[in-house]
Copies of this chain bind each other. A is one copy, B any other.
Amino acid sequence: MSGGAREPGRSVTSKVLAILGAFDAARPQLTLTELAARSGVPLSTAHRLVGELEEWQALSRSPDGRLRVGPRLWELGQLAPNRLRELAHPWLQELFGSTGENVHLAVRDGLEVLYVDKVYGRRAVPIVSRIGGRLPMHPTGVGKALLAYEPDWFVQSYLARKLERPTPHTITEPGRLARELAAVRAQGYALTYEEMTPGSCSAAAPVLVDGRPVAALGIVLSSRRARELPRLVEPLRAAATGIAAAYGS
């Protein structure tokens, strides 16, 4: 490998990837010093690599001079195939059209949900999910809908960790969560009330293909309108079933 003499064995490619990987939703903008520290790449090397990445528009500068992901990486990322997102999108669109509410689609990745699509309008309640964003599973509707259909060993190891508590309403007690997941399986959908974000409640249904939860479809509204959730469950489940049928075929 062609890594610098100071770090034998670490390739230039791995340094470039460490620099790119230093950005995430919590830190979408970084100074060069922060970037070097987060990537573990020496400052002088980071300076040189960042120059090349900027020239290619893989990185760009915000008005205050901090670095961020550039337009070329957005454009490149759009080439990544995602059959699920493509076939599900029209269903999300239709569910949004018939309900007027925020709709999103998520998959499980590790111990988190990764949001792969979202449809929202001008009057929608602001929601915390972001396309390409990640959240923990237990406080989100889509996370519960996915977790409920994972094998026991997975659920038990998920519940055995210390669980984040983003709001006072977040359920983190393992026994209570386990009972709730059993209820989700029994009824075929999950409901949350201000467990992820104060002011928001949600319903979510799994997209089940051969019994396996390949994704979850969620709908989010203001918690002042929580009592409208039940009437949204049927269109939500119908869309999730439609996505499953399209995905499995």
* A65 at interface, CB cutoff 8 A: no
Chain B residue nearest in CB terms to A51: B13
CB distance from A96 to the nearest CB of B (A): 7
Per-residue CB contact flags for chain A residues 128-149 toward chain B (1 = under 8 Å, else 0) read 0011110000000000000000
CB pair A91–B2 under 8 Å, yes or no, is no
CB distance from A159 to the nearest CB of B (A): 26
* A90 at interface, CB cutoff 8 A: yes
Per-residue CB contact flags for chain A residues 23-38 toward chain B (1 = under 8 Å, else 0) read 1110010000000000
* A125 at interface, CB cutoff 8 A: no
CB pair A82–B74 under 8 Å, yes or no, is yes
Bound-state Cα–Cα, A2 to B3, Å: 8
Given contacts A20-B76, A25-B79, A76-B73, whether A122 and B96 have CB atoms under 8 Å apart is: no
CB distance from A203 to the nearest CB of B (A): 20
- Jot down 21 A-B pairs with beta carbons below 8 A, ordered by A: A2-B4, A16-B16, A17-B56, A20-B58, A21-B56, A21-B76, A24-B79, A28-B79, A68-B79, A69-B80, A69-B81, A70-B80, A71-B82, A73-B76, A74-B78, A75-B114, A76-B77, A77-B132, A78-B131, A93-B120, A94-B121
20 new A-B contacts, CB < 8 A, other than A17-B53, A23-B76, A69-B79, are: A2-B2, A11-B52, A13-B52, A20-B76, A23-B79, A28-B81, A60-B80, A68-B79, A69-B80, A70-B80, A73-B76, A73-B77, A74-B78, A78-B132, A79-B132, A89-B120, A90-B122, A93-B121, A94-B122, A97-B121
What is A's interface to B at a CB cutoff of 8 Å? 2, 4, 11-14, 16-17, 20-21, 23-25, 28, 49, 52-53, 56, 58, 60, 62, 68-71, 73-82, 89-91, 93-94, 96-97, 114, 119-122, 124, 130-133
